[in-house]
Amino acid sequence: MDANGVRAITALSDATRRAIFESLPQGPRSVAELAEATGITSSAASQHLRILREAHLVSMRRDGNRHLYSLDPRGLNDARDYLEQFWPSALAAHAAALRAAGQPTTAVPPAGQPTRR
């Protein structure tokens, strides 16, 4: 089992951490900016950011006396890899349900063939 994939999914299960994470695609942001954007204190934002860093979902760099946070693709890759192990059985179950309902299954990729963007 991919422990960091589970850690990333768990980290994103918190609404505040998701809000912080979702505010980072626009570029690096400071703790104060993230706190203001999510309506929490800087101290609370720092604690959430620590969890996101441990899950490799964000990275931090210093800019003078500020800490700037950015997205870290490693955590999302780990979460995707963890979830993809279930993809073949999920597709097979979906195809079986379609067959049981009398519907064609031609649109379902073969089991073991996950689709990536």
In a domain, 103, yes or no: no
Domains held by the chain: number: 1
Domain that holds residue 20: 3-74
pLDDT of 44 > 70? The answer is: yes
In a domain, 25, yes or no: yes
**pLDDT band for position 39 (cuts 50, 70, 90):** very high
Name the 3-class secondary structure at 41. coil
In a domain, 101, yes or no: no
Phi-psi domain of 101 (left: phi exceeds 0; alpha: psi -120 through 50; beta: other): alpha
Q: Domain with 41 in it: what CATH number? A: 1.10.10.10
In a domain, 81, yes or no: no
pTM score, whole prediction: 0.76
Tens-digit pLDDT profile for residues 53-84? 999 999 999 999 999 999 999 999 999 999 99
As a whole number, the mean pLDDT across the chain is 89
What's the confidence (pLDDT) of residue 89?
A: 87
